[in-house]
Amino acid sequence: MSTFSVSFRIHQDSDRQRRYDTFVEQLESVGAGEYWAETTSFYFVKTAETIDAFCHRIYVHSGFNATKDMYVVMDTEVKAARARGAIQYPATLRSLVPFIVIQ
């Protein structure tokens, strides 16, 4: 089992609520069923999925729009991280998290 931290931003527009709801639905539908979400746009999720499988699922099976939304997923136990979407400062993100893969 892995524990991932997930930070995300869903862009504010007329379709935001649908994209937000479907994204959160994917975060909360983890196989292990364990997640923590007491802060805004941030989750801890325990799952049997690999980081790549997890990121693929939350991207493909939600309304996430990579042209305007963004997420960062980090494995809390090993140096693994993924990011996708409208990241304004990728060089800064890479300098702070050199092992991150921006998709």
Q: What is the pLDDT of residue 31?
A: 66
Domain count, the chain: 1
CATH number, position 74: 3.30.70
Task: State the DSSP code for 12.
Answer: -
Task: State the DSSP code for 99.
Answer: T
Q: Is the pLDDT of residue 32 over 80?
A: no
pTM, 2 dp: 0.94
From residue 46, give the alpha-carbon distance in Å to each of 13, 43, 78, 98: 30, 10, 14, 23
Q: Is the pLDDT of residue 42 over 70?
A: yes
Q: Is the pLDDT of residue 82 over 80?
A: yes
Average pLDDT over residues 27-43: 89
Per the structure, the complete domain to which residue 86 belongs is given by 2-102
Of residues 6 and 32, more confidently modeled: 6
